[in-house]
Amino acid sequence: MSKLTEQSCEACRADAPKVGDDEQQALLGEIPGWDVIELDGEKQLKREYGFRNFAEALAFTNSVAELAESENHHPAILLEWGKVTVRWWTHKIGGLHRNDFIMAARTDCL
């Protein structure tokens, strides 16, 4: 298996399978610092990034947005002074897909 950062997202259908518990744990091992949370009954990947100021946080936010557009897979992003919170999940299936782990790993490379 190639590293998550080297993979691209696949087109996701509404009937695509969610990541199972065993696969979730294995994939989490490849993206340290990310947590699985449940929000409104949907599992999501969440990570907070710290920055020295608002300008650095904004630049990172814009980089995440460009990454999301390039893969047509979009996260929730909360921009604050010195902090950006990113949450990845697949809206079509209401939970986690392998794509979310790929995008989390690629976010860490920004």
Mean pLDDT score of the chain, rounded to an integer? 93
* Separation between Cα atoms, residue 97 and residue 78, nearest integer Å: 21
pLDDT of residue 1: 40
- Domain layout of the chain by residue ranges: 18-108
Is 13's pLDDT higher than 90?
A: no
Per-residue model confidence as pLDDT tens digits over 26-74: 999 999 999 999 999 999 999 999 999 999 999 999 999 999 999 999 9
pLDDT of residue 86: 98
pLDDT of residue 2: 52
* Separation between Cα atoms, residue 50 and residue 18, nearest integer Å: 30
**For the residues of the chain, what is the DSSP string, one character each?**
---GGG--PPP--TTPPPPPHHHHHHHHTTSTT-EEEEETTEEEEEEEEE-SSHHHHHHHHHHHHHHHHHHT---EEEEETTEEEEEE-BTTTTB--HHHHHHHHHHHT-
Query: 18-108 is classed in which CATH architecture?
Result: 2-Layer Sandwich (3.30)
Burial class (CB in 10 A: 0-12, 13-18, 19+), 14: exposed
Is 85's pLDDT higher than 70?
A: yes
* Separation between Cα atoms, residue 27 and residue 50, nearest integer Å: 23
* Separation between Cα atoms, residue 28 and residue 59, nearest integer Å: 26
Quote the percentage of the chain above a pLDDT of 70: 98
